[in-house]
Each structure stands twice: as structure tokens, then as C-alpha cells.
């Protein structure tokens, strides 16, 4: 295999004395890689500034790594990496990655912790470089924040290739040179939780049916059966609950609907009101009779992203043993055109008795969420948070920069915002004005119309519609349509479905569990 010169820096090409030939032999024998971090050069100081782990590693080589880095090319920029071969007996390859400025901190302008984001991005780059060399074991520099480093490694290495014959090398990562394994393991669980959502969202819809989705989550939660109860409610139960809005969407498909109900009992206080998470679970959205354009319709296999992130966050909360009660609700079905499907102009009745004129069958997510939100109130919740890939208008408004949040609670907003700063998976508050409510309550045939009377403000009118099924003091609607997929916006996520904002939901639950 030929390597570009800038990447191949064997010990004998350095400007200092040669190491023994046994090291070069170990280059071929060793199967382990190492990721180390370096900060940008400071003013009036031309030397590279290593992390504590990288400095220790360099001392063990008598300064060899620093020398190789200085002669290999220009200083490493933030998020870039460079690989050195044969410099250490225990590692066949060492990837040095740029962490940006050492002084990086929480940035009010960007609404995230720049230090954590730099670590995630840099570590993911290093791990991918070593994965491309088909190394199966990689040790990772904690870079001052083991949790962020673990998240960068786990998220950065994920590749959905289940149906490909040629697969990416599976890499086992572990912490290098640090005793703080608790934070590392926490970061691994955060990353694996988001990857679970990514797997569900990326998989083809003929495999991830409502039944299959529910089975996967049940299997993931089987490890925590002492703390978690799973209910897979059938159509007959939905009929008993008078979920007419949900049932009206599901009837166009041959796949039976499932109402997935998860109870995580992490708190010892049985009287503690639960956090209720509700996720839109359309496992494929054709638009129904109001058929979507064929171009890009394949991406609608991920229209269950709300359910995927909500359920994955509960799996993660259980793995972390968070001392909190969480109930997860995921109405799961397909939205398909058929002789039984909803027709534009149909009127359906939701669980709370309100009637809905369905003028656009592609605005189906709000219909299934309406019944789920009504049911959520039966648990006397501390707060209700729903997540849904609800509107293209949200993508137009914010793109992939942040999840749009519509909430009636300053208290809940502050905790969501705080959680997103930690995770780097940002949220942005959107308006819930009566201006938008009037647009969905102005209906010719029913109490509500499932689309506003104007194309403008589509994400806002959708949120206002959902608000008609909420009476609790603390409720937030997360429209995640804009963050559903990733091209190259988030450097530590490969192209594909993103699984956002799973980690922010987990961090929200962790924050609430720590409050008195």
C-alpha cells in the first residue's frame, strides 16, 4: 500500500538520530492505534502545545513526536489530523489531531461549549483516520474531557452499512492514559444512544415497520427489565382509547399500527411525577393521498425520527441509571395512500373529543401526536416533551443548525437550552403566538384544521395545532425536521440520518434528575 509522503513519517526519516529497526518491525506487528490532541500555537510561542496525555507520550519518546509534528508540515488546524507510523512499539499508528484554542469555552454567540465541540470533532477525525487503516483497537486521549472524547469517538466511527457486503472496520475504542473512566463510559453511552436512533432512522422502511421498531426498543430495554416496563399496544387498544386521529392515519397502510409505551422507573420515590417524552413514529411517510414528490421521498423512512430519539434517550437513561421517572410514548404507523386512507376534507375525532378537518393528508404527524399528547396527560406529568420531524418549514427556518422549540414554559425552556449547550446539539426557541392558533381554529367543518389557512409560518401553525391538545403547565414541542439528516454540518457525524437531538434529551433528563 502506498501512502502520501505527508502522512508517512517513519522514525528513520526524522532529522534526529534513528530509532532501532525493531520499532519499524513493530509497526507491522502492532494492531493498535492512538489518537492524541494538540492545541493551536499561542502568540509569541511557535511550539505545538500538547494535551497532558500527548505531552506524556512525547516524553516517553524523548521529544520525537514534537519533532515529527514540526517537520511534517504546517501547524495542525482545528478538526484536522495527521498520522505518524512506527513511532512507538505499542502503536502501529498515531493520529495527532487539532483541538483549536486551549482557551475555548462556552460561547454565547454559538450557544454551545466550544471546547467540548472541538474535542468531539477532533477525536472523530483521528478515529476515522485509524479506521481507514483497518485498525481494530484505538486508544483515545481524553483531551481534558473524557466524556466529549468518547462521544466524538463513538459518533464519529458510526457507519450504517448493514446491507452492504463491504463494511467499515469495526473499531474498539478505549481511554488512554487516564483514570477517569466513569466520564468516558458516560460519553460512550451518550454516543451509543444517538447511534441507536441513527440506525433506526437510516434503515429501510420495508425492514423498520412499526412492529419491528417496537421489537428493537423492547430488546434494547430487556437489559433493564427490573426498571423498565414495555407495552406494545395493538389497534384494539387504540380503539378503546378513542384515538381517532391516530387511527385515521394508520388505516391507509397494510402494516398494523403500534402504540409503544415505555415506563422507566429510575426514581425510588413512587410519588415523583414523571417526565413524559412523546415521539412521532411515522415509519414511512408517502404523504398519503396528498402524495409527496418522488424526489427525496426515500428519506421519509426517517419520519419516525421523533420516536427514534425519544426511545433511544430512554434506553440511554436506563443504561446511565438516572434517578428519575420517564414515560415514553411512540405512536407508530405508516402514512400510505390506499382506498382506506384519509382523504382531503375528511373529519376525524381526537381522543379529547375535538374534531379535526384533514385538508392535507401529508400533515399527518400532528394527528398521531394529538392523541399521544392527550394520553400523556393521564400520567400527571412533571413535564411533557414531544419530538417530531414535523414540518419542512422548520428546515427552511433554521436548517440543520438547531432544533426548533415551541414551549409554554420558561422553566422547561431554560433546562432544554442548558442541556443543549453541554451536548452541542443546539435548540432555538420559536413563538407560540395566538396569531398562529387562530389559523388552525378557523375551520369550515370541524373544531380544528390540520393545516393553517396560510403557507406562511408552517412550523408555528403546526405547533399551535399541537398546543390545542395540551393543558399541562410545562410542555415543549421539538420540531426536528431540520436536524433529521447530516451532510457535513456536524463534523463528527458522517453523512446520513443524524439521530439528533438524542443526547440533548438525555442531558435534559439527567439535569432534571439532579434537581431537588
Residue 356 maps to which CATH number? 3.40.630.10
Are 66 and 210 found together in one domain? no
**What is the DSSP track for 340-358?**
TS--TTEEEE-TTS-EEEE
Query: Do residues 264 and 227 lie in contact, with contact meaning Cβ atoms separated by under 8 Å?
Result: yes
Whether 502 is in a domain gets the answer yes
CA distance 412 to 415: 5
Are 150 and 77 found together in one domain? yes
Phi, psi angle pair for 175, to nearest 5°: -75, 140
CA distance 366 to 370: 6
Are 66 and 206 found together in one domain? no
Are 350 and 436 found together in one domain? yes
Whether 308 is in a domain gets the answer yes
* Domain range enclosing 366: 192-514
Whether 242 is in a domain gets the answer yes
3-state class of 94 per DSSP? strand
Are 172 and 196 found together in one domain? no
Query: Do residues 146 and 115 lie in contact, with contact meaning Cβ atoms separated by under 8 Å?
Result: no
Query: Do residues 234 and 258 lie in contact, with contact meaning Cβ atoms separated by under 8 Å?
Result: yes
- Give the predicted TM-score (pTM) of the model: 0.94
Distances (CA, A) of 129 to 34, 93, 116: 10, 10, 20
CA distance 322 to 359: 43
Are 115 and 40 found together in one domain? yes
What's the pLDDT score for residue 5? 34
The residue with cell 430488546 is 219
With left for phi above 0 and alpha for psi between -120 and 50, is residue 380 left, alpha or beta? left
Are 132 and 205 found together in one domain? no
| The three three-digit cell numbers of residue 194, written as one number | 444517538
Q: In what order do the strands lie in the sheet with 355-358?
A: 346-349, 355-358, 448-449
What's the pLDDT score for residue 29? 53
Whether 183 is in a domain gets the answer no
User: Of 122, 145, 176, which residue constitutes the final position of a domain?
Assistant: 176
Are 430 and 399 found together in one domain? yes
Q: Please list, in sequence order, all residues whose beta carbon lies within 8 angstroms of the beta carbon of residue 378, skipping any fewer than 6 positions away.
A: none
The residue with cell 417524552 is 277
CA distance 213 to 255: 12
Whether 186 is in a domain gets the answer no
Could you report how far apart the first and last alpha carbons of the chain are, in Å? 59
**Local mean pLDDT, 10-residue blocks, the chain (516 residues):** 37 33 47 96 78 96 94 92 95 97 93 97 98 97 97 98 96 91 98 98 98 98 97 98 98 98 93 97 98 97 98 98 98 98 98 98 98 98 98 98 98 98 98 97 97 92 98 98 97 98 98 94
Are 67 and 134 found together in one domain? yes
Query: Do residues 484 and 201 lie in contact, with contact meaning Cβ atoms separated by under 8 Å?
Result: yes
CA distance 158 to 154: 7
Are 251 and 318 found together in one domain? yes
Query: Do residues 405 and 430 lie in contact, with contact meaning Cβ atoms separated by under 8 Å?
Result: yes
How many separate domains does the chain show? 2
CA distance 138 to 150: 12
Q: Which CATH number belongs to the domain containing residue 25 in this structure?
A: 3.40.220.10
Q: Which of 293, 467, 313 is nearest to 392 (CA)?
A: 293
Whether 184 is in a domain gets the answer no
Whether 185 is in a domain gets the answer no
Are 329 and 408 found together in one domain? yes
User: Of 176, 203, 224, which residue constitutes the final position of a domain?
Assistant: 176
- Looking from the CA of 290 toward its CB, the CA atoms found within 13 Å total 16
User: Of 149, 176, 203, which residue constitutes the final position of a domain?
Assistant: 176
Average pLDDT, the chain: 93
Query: Do residues 509 and 275 lie in contact, with contact meaning Cβ atoms separated by under 8 Å?
Result: yes
Are 206 and 105 found together in one domain? no
Q: In the structure, how many helices (H) and strands (E) does the chain have? A: 16, 22
Which amino acids are annotated catalytic? 292, 366
Sign for the pseudo-dihedral over CA of 219, 221, 225, 229: negative
Q: Which of 483, 473, 474, 475 is nearest to 504 (CA)?
A: 483
**What is the DSSP track for 313-333?**
HHHHHHHHT-SSEEEEEEEEE
Whether 182 is in a domain gets the answer no
What's the pLDDT score for residue 23? 45
What's the pLDDT score for residue 303? 98
Q: What is the pLDDT of residues 24-38, one digit of tens each?
A: 445 445 689 999 999
The residue with cell 392515519 is 249
Cβ neighbours around 7 below 10 Å, total: 16
Amino acid at each position: 500500500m502506498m501512502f502520501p509522503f505527508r502522512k508517512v513519517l517513519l522514525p528513520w526519516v526524522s532529522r534526529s538520530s534513528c530509532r532501532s529497526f525493531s520499532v519499524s518491525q513493530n509497526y507491522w506487528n502492532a494492531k493498535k492505534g492512538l489518537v492524541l490532541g494538540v492545541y493551536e500555537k499561542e502568540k509569541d510561542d511557535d511550539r505545538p502545545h500538547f494535551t497532558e496525555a500527548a505531552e506524556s507520550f512525547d516524553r516517553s519518546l524523548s521529544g520525537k513526536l514534537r519533532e515529527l509534528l514540526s517537520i511534517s508540515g504546517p501547524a495542525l488546524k482545528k478538526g484536522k489530523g495527521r498520522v505518524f507510523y512506527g513511532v512507538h512499539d505499542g502503536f502501529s499508528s498515531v493520529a495527532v489531531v487539532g483541538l483549536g484554542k486551549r482557551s475555548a469555552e462556552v460561547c454565547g454567540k454559538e450557544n454551545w461549549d466550544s471546547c467540548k465541540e472541538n474535542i468531539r470533532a477532533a477525536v472523530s477525525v483521528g478515529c476515522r483516520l485509524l479506521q481507514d487503516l483497518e485498525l481494530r483497537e484505538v486508544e483515545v486521549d481524553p483531551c481534558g474531557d473524557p466524556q466529549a472524547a468518547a462521544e466524538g469517538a463513538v459518533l464519529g466511527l458510526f457507519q450504517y452499512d448493514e446491507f452492504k457486503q463491504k463494511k467499515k472496520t469495526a473499531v474498539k475504542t478505549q481511554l488512554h492514559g487516564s483514570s477517569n473512566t466513569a466520564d468516558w463510559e458516560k460519553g460512550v453511552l451518550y454516543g451509543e444512544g444517538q447511534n441507536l436512533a441513527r440506525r433506526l432512522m437510516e434503515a429501510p422502511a420495508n425492514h423498520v415497520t412499526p412492529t419491528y421498531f417496537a421489537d428493537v426498543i423492547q430488546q434494547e430495554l430487556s437489559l433493564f427489565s427490573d426498571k423498565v416496563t414495555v407495552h406494545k399496544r395493538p389497534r384494539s387498544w387504540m380503539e378503546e382509547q378513542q384515538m381517532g386521529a391516530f387511527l385515521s392515519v394508520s388505516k391507509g397502510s397494510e402494516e398494523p399500527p403500534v402504540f409503544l409505551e415505555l415506563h422507566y422507573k429510575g426514581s425510588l420515590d413512587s410519588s415523583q411525577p414523571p417526565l413524559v417524552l412523546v415521539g412521532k413514529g411515522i415509519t414511512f411517510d408517502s404523504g398519503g393521498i396528498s402524495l409527496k414528490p418522488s424526489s427525496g421521498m426515500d428519506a421519509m423512512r426517517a419520519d419516525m425520527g421523533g420516536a427514534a430519539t425519544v426511545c433511544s434517550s430512554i434506553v440511554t437513561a436506563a443504561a446511565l441509571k438516572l434517578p428519575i421517572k420517564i414515560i415514553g410514548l411512540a405512536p407508530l404507523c405508516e402514512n400510505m395512500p390506499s382506498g382506506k386512507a384519509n382523504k382531503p376534507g375528511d373529519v376525524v375525532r381526537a381522543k379529547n373529543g375535538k374534531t379535526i378537518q384533514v385538508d392535507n393528508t401529508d400533515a399527518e404527524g400532528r394527528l398521531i401526536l394529538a392523541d399521544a399528547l392527550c394520553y400523556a396527560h393521564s400520567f400527571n406529568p412533571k413535564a411533557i416533551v414531544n419530538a417530531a420531524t414535523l414540518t419542512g418549514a422548520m428546515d427552511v427556518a433554521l436548517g440543520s443548525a438547531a432544533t426548533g422549540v415551541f414551549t409554554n414554559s420558561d422553566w422547561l425552556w431554560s433546562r432544554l437550552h442548558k442541556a443543549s449547550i453541554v451536548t452541542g446539539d443546539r435548540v432555538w426557541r420559536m413563538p407560540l403566538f395566538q396569531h398562529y392558533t387562530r389559523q388552525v381554529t378557523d375551520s369550515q367543518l370541524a373544531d380544528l384544521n390540520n393545516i393553517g389557512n396560510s403557507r406562511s409560518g408552517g412550523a408555528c401553525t403546526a405547533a399551535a395545532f399541537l398546543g390545542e391538545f395540551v393543558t399541562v403547565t410545562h410542555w415543549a414541542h421539538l420540531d426536528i425536521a431540520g436536524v433529521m439528516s447530516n451532510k457535513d454540518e456536524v463534523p463528527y457525524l458522517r453523512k446520513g440520518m443524524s439521530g439528533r437531538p438524542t443526547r440533548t434529551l438525555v442531558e435534559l433528563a439527567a439535569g432534571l434528575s439532579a434537581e431537588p
